[in-house]
Amino acid sequence: MNYLTVSEPAEASFIEKRSEFIGYISPVSTSEEAVDFINGIKARHRKAKHNVYAYILRQDNISRYSDDGEPQGTAGVPVLEVLRKRGLTDICVVVTRYFGGILLGGGGLVRAYSHAASLACDAAHTMDMCLCHKLRLTADYSMYGKISYLLPAHGTITLSSDFGSDVTMEILVLSEKLDALKKELTEATNGSIIIDDRGESYEDFSSVQTY
């Protein structure tokens, strides 16, 4: 149920035999968002020879691509394959090409468009989106040691800690580990801990800052 995507738009470019290839990447969640992103890049590069694209969506398992005038199979498919090999979804990549006057041939085009897509992916921050629960834990100070000892074993992420009259912590725990964590916390604190489940959502387990 987990998936990989990127946090924000990014771009990168290179030149191959006088042709400039500019790769753009952006997170998208619907076909409409993907089309808007593609059209935005096309509007920025009206004089470009080609604006090749590919996108993959979790919703309805949709994937689309376009060679935009390049020989069939030499542009859109290589870009799409880069996204698939990296396991990315809810993602759109557009590769703009300014033709430099030298033909690259079929193999050269495949390599160039693949490279531009890879550079765009490398320029973006990849997020590991995991289905998890946000919990608010409240307990007596005497239980803090036991709680802080248990949390790392369940791969939790601590979002905040408040040391007031009681210890209050907000954490993220993977959904598949939720029941086991609740059980161990309850047993370790003799049932004195208050566990407030704030609900289930997808969160980036690769970059959420811990405290």
Q: What is the 3-state secondary structure (H, E, C) of the chain?
A: CCEEEECCCEEEEEEECCEEEEEEEEECCCHHHHHHHHHHHHHHCCCCCEEEEEEEECHHHEEEEECCCCCCCCCHHHHHHHHHHCCECCEEEEEEEECCCCCCHHHHHHHHHHHHHHHHHHHCCEEEEEEEEEEEEEECHHHHHHHHHHHHHHCCEEEEEEECCCEEEEEEEEHHHHHHHHHHHHHHCCCCCEEEEEEEEEEECCCCCCC
Q: Which is the CATH superfamily of the domain at 3-124?
A: Impact, N-terminal domain (3.30.230.30)
**Strands 157-163 vs 167-174: parallel, antiparallel or unpaired:** antiparallel
pLDDT for res 24: 98
Same fold, 3-124 and 129-204: no
pLDDT tens profile 152-198: 889 899 999 998 889 999 999 999 999 999 999 999 999 999 999 99
pLDDT for res 1: 74
pLDDT tens profile 21-30: 999 999 999 9
| CA-CA-CA-CA torsion sign (25, 29, 85, 206) | positive
Q: Which residue has the tokens 């759109």?
A: 92
Q: How confident is the model at residue 209 (pLDDT cuts 50, 70, 90)?
A: very low
Domain chopping of the chain, boundaries: 3-124, 129-204
Residues 6+ apart with CB under 8 A from 175: 1, 131, 132, 133, 200
Q: Does the domain made of 129-204 have the CATH classification 3.30.70.240?
A: yes
Could you tell me which of 64, 61, 55 has the C-alpha nearest to residue 94? 55
Q: How confident is the model at residue 207 (pLDDT cuts 50, 70, 90)?
A: low
As beta bridge partners, residue 130 has 203
Could you tell me which of 67, 93, 75 has the C-alpha nearest to residue 6? 93
Average pLDDT over residues 128-140: 94
Average pLDDT over residues 49-54: 96
18, 101 Cβ separation under 8 angstroms: yes
Q: How confident is the model at residue 211 (pLDDT cuts 50, 70, 90)?
A: very low
Could you tell me which of 57, 111, 33 has the C-alpha nearest to residue 79? 111
